[in-house]
Amino acid sequence: MAGKAASVDPDRSEWDVIVLGGAAAGENVAQYATQFSDLDAVIVEAELVGGECSYWACMPSKALLRPADVLTNGRHVPGVSSLVAGRGLDVPAVLARRDTVVNGLDDASQVKWALDTGIDVIRGYGRLTGERTVEVVTAAGDSRTLTARHTVVIDTGSCTTVPPVPGLAEAGAWTSRDVTNVHEVPRRVVVYGGGVVACEAATWLRALGVEELTVVYRSPDLLARFEPFAGRMVADQLRDAGVRLLPGRSAVEVRRADPRGTGVGLPHGGEVTLRLDDGAALVADELVLATGRTPNTQDIGLSSVGCPDGGFLAVDDQQAVRAVSGSWLYAIGDVCGRALLTHMGKYQARIAGEVIAARAAGRRPTDADDEPLSVAAGHRGSPQVTFTQPEVGSAGMTERQAREAGVDVETAEYDMAGLAGTFVMREDYVGRAKLVVDRATDTVVGATFVGSGVADLVHSATTAVVARLPLSVLWHVVPSYPTASEVWLRLLETVRTRRAAGPTP
Ligand SMILES: Cc1cc2nc3c(=O)[nH]c(=O)nc-3n(C[C@H](O)[C@H](O)[C@H](O)COP(=O)(O)OP(=O)(O)OC[C@H]3O[C@@H](n4cnc5c(N)ncnc54)[C@H](O)[C@@H]3O)c2cc1C
Ligand SMILES: NC(=O)c1ccc[n+]([C@@H]2O[C@H](COP(=O)([O-])OP(=O)(O)OC[C@H]3O[C@@H](n4cnc5c(N)ncnc54)[C@H](O)[C@@H]3O)[C@@H](O)[C@H]2O)c1
């Protein structure tokens, strides 16, 4: 890695690898393609190197959620509860820390990392104009054409989906960028959507002092992609915190008399009214859209290489874009629609980077055991933590997903409040865990943990799923006492007890 000169030569036009979009995954693919090869790479970034996650998504949201989590848990631990009783967050301090976490929206350290690593950075908006060719337009309006000797990688990410509700596009509703970079906390907020962004945002908005907070979602439960108990437990906690939940509803019209371009994280105008399909009308100071993600593929020149513009890019297990022959175009991160998570995009990037380096050297892309490099194993485990109260951590498949995939499933559930480790955390601990076991192989194919502090339990489940560890081996993986990890022992005991009682239908 060391010793490769960084170049920002304005006249240079050719690199081995061009990465379109400089999110964490884009940085990773450039690093992995170049670090043990003779290849060089350039990242083309329209805004900030580090991407959505660093400045507008994961990092600011977790910075806002952490103080809320500390305060809530403190309220339930004698010896601390008396100190914080009746007190809320120090909002200016929370927002200031969030600003520190996003580096004041300055990517200088990320650019330095890239240049120090031997990866060039060009600022501007890139579009494919043909095979291995990218045109970059700078903020000043200048353009330059770049050619890749080997590969172009698309890492242009995603943005908030704006559903086709009359008046919504014109209302200037907050997107995930505004709600994570909130600067002025509105008094009344409606969150539209019931997924991960909605649940996390409702958690921090209420903690920051939103007085009237309503979450409207079309499904019967929050977090509908997870085990059903996860959404229900998060819903209970949000209701207890004073959030109004309106499931099974959709917006039919949005009105705002004076939408204004006030800037990120400030109210985008005056009162906004959301009319619902049940006839109700909700009036708020801001509307937050949390209705899923649209890949940034509409305007990146895909049609110039025979690929339809827009939509997710179907890729093979080495992240090569299926619609384009010759294995010169790859896609990683949200644009490929596999798992819209930073860590999964970075994993795809590591594999794709090694594949690109191997192919450029005329080698078959294989791992240390001479197996073809592929993202299949990692996606089997695909972990996720939703930092609500309680947290929701999962790896692999839910029971429903496993059944839909044709797996002959056996499950076990356990109330996590019954563990010494969680009792010490909070005497009124609320939590639940579930294992999904493939009967044919006697291995774990999915696990879900709900409860305070479960985030770091997830990696054990990811390991079990990816390594296909049989239950007979997991029985010897002893959890420390007294920790929440003892839930593994209880879940395995639940399976053994039931098996001892005889076959289940
Ligand atoms: C509120 C919120 C919270 C989240 N929290 C988490 C979390 O805790 N953990 C987690 O794993 N995931 C989280 N996610 C998901 C995570 O943010 C995304 O999965 C991740 O950012 C996707 O990364 P990416 O590589 O696809 O690109 P992105 O991070 O979307 O970045 C794409 C980059 O490409 C640039 N770009 C786009 N088009 C062009 C172009 N034509 N030319 C040049 N540059 C271009 C953009 O400026 C941007 O910098 C969260 C998402 C949201 C919305
Ligand atoms: N902690 C984390 O890991 C974390 C945090 C936030 C986001 N993310 C990732 O970011 C991605 C985006 O999150 P999200 O919450 O926006 O998406 P999501 O898919 O989790 O939820 C989208 C919600 O919007 C609703 N919806 C979709 N289209 C709609 C429409 N036309 N009208 C009305 N409702 C509609 C869905 O029913 C659902 O409730 C997710 O894939 C998530 O994994 C991860």
pLDDT at 333 over 50: yes
Calculate how far, in angstroms, residue 296's C-alpha sits from the geometric centre of ligand 1. 10
Residue 192 in contact with residue 279, Cβ under 8 Å?
Answer: no
Calculate how far, in angstroms, residue 486's C-alpha sits from the geometric centre of ligand 2. 31
CATH 3.50.50.60 fits 168-291, yes or no: yes
Instruction: Take atom 4 of ligand 1 and give the residue whose Cα is closest.
Output: 58
Return the pLDDT at 3.
37
Cβ 45 under 6 angstroms from ligand 1 = yes
In this prediction, residues 220-248 reach a mean pLDDT of 98
Residue that the structure tokens 């019954």 belong to: 418
Residue 312 in contact with residue 329, Cβ under 8 Å?
Answer: no
Pocket test for ligand 1, best of 27, 45, 53 (most atoms within 8 A of CB): 53
Among residues 35, 44, 36, the alpha carbon closest in space to that of 15 is found at 44
Q: How confident is the model at residue 2 (pLDDT cuts 50, 70, 90)?
A: very low
Among residues 12, 30, 49, 38, the alpha carbon closest in space to that of 146 is found at 12
Ligand whose nearest atom lies closest to the CA of 252:
2
pLDDT at 7 over 80: no
Q: Where are the domains of the chain?
A: 14-50+107-159+295-374, 168-291, 390-498
Return the pLDDT at 504.
62
Cβ 42 under 6 angstroms from ligand 1 = no
How many other C-beta atoms lie within 10 A of the C-beta of residue 272?
Answer: 29
Pocket test for ligand 1, best of 58, 122, 346, 347 (most atoms within 8 A of CB): 58
Instruction: Take atom 35 of ligand 2 and give the residue whose Cα is closest.
Output: 291
Ligand whose nearest atom lies closest to the CA of 107:
1
Mean pLDDT of the chain: 96
How many percent of the chain have pLDDT more than 70? 98
Ligand whose nearest atom lies closest to the CA of 349:
1
Atom of ligand 1 nearest to the CA of 21: 34
pLDDT at 332 over 90: yes
Return the pLDDT at 214.
98
- d(CA 180, CA 271) in angstroms, rounded, equals 21
Each residue's pLDDT tens digit, 194-206: 999 999 999 999 9
In this prediction, residues 68-96 reach a mean pLDDT of 97
Calculate how far, in angstroms, residue 191's C-alpha sits from the geometric centre of ligand 1. 21
Return the pLDDT at 10.
81
172: phi > 0 → left, psi -120 to 50 → alpha, else beta; which? left
Instruction: Take atom 10 of ligand 2 and give the residue whose Cα is closest.
Output: 340
pLDDT at 393 over 70: yes
Instruction: Take atom 43 of ligand 2 and give the residue whose Cα is closest.
Output: 340
Among residues 44, 59, 254, the alpha carbon closest in space to that of 156 is found at 44
Calculate how far, in angstroms, residue 459's C-alpha sits from the geometric centre of ligand 1. 22
Instruction: Take atom 19 of ligand 2 and give the residue whose Cα is closest.
Output: 292
Cβ 107 under 6 angstroms from ligand 1 = no
pLDDT at 470 over 70: yes
Q: How confident is the model at residue 446 (pLDDT cuts 50, 70, 90)?
A: very high
Which residues on neighbouring strands pair with residue 148, listed in sequence order? 15
Return the pLDDT at 1.
35
Q: State in words which class domain 390-498 has.
A: alpha beta
pLDDT at 6 over 60: no
- d(CA 265, CA 246) in angstroms, rounded, equals 25
Helix H, strand E, coil C: the string for 150-214 is: EEEEECCCEEECCCCCCCHHHHCCECHHHHHCCCCCCCEEEEECCCHHHHHHHHHHHHCCCCEEE
Calculate how far, in angstroms, residue 110's C-alpha sits from the geometric centre of ligand 1. 15
SS3 468: coil
- d(CA 432, CA 450) in angstroms, rounded, equals 5
How many percent of the chain have pLDDT more than 90? 96
pLDDT at 255 over 90: yes
SS3 414: strand
Atom of ligand 2 nearest to the CA of 340: 41
Pocket test for ligand 2, best of 196, 287, 335 (most atoms within 8 A of CB): 196
Ligand whose nearest atom lies closest to the CA of 128:
1
Instruction: Take atom 51 of ligand 1 and give the residue whose Cα is closest.
Output: 57
Residue 11 in contact with residue 35, Cβ under 8 Å?
Answer: no
Each residue's pLDDT tens digit, 103-135: 999 999 999 999 999 999 999 999 999 999 999
CATH 3.40.640.10 fits 14-50+107-159+295-374, yes or no: no
Cβ 334 under 6 angstroms from ligand 1 = yes
pLDDT at 505 over 60: no
Residues touching ligand 2 (Cβ under 6 Å) are 161, 163, 193-198, 200, 217-219, 250, 290-293, 340-341, 384-387
Return the pLDDT at 502.
83
pLDDT at 5 over 60: no
Domains 14-50+107-159+295-374 and 168-291 share a fold: yes
In this prediction, residues 174-191 reach a mean pLDDT of 98
Calculate how far, in angstroms, residue 30's C-alpha sits from the geometric centre of ligand 2. 29
CB-side exposure of 366: number of CA atoms within 13 Å?
Answer: 7
Each residue's pLDDT tens digit, 65-81: 999 999 999 999 999 99
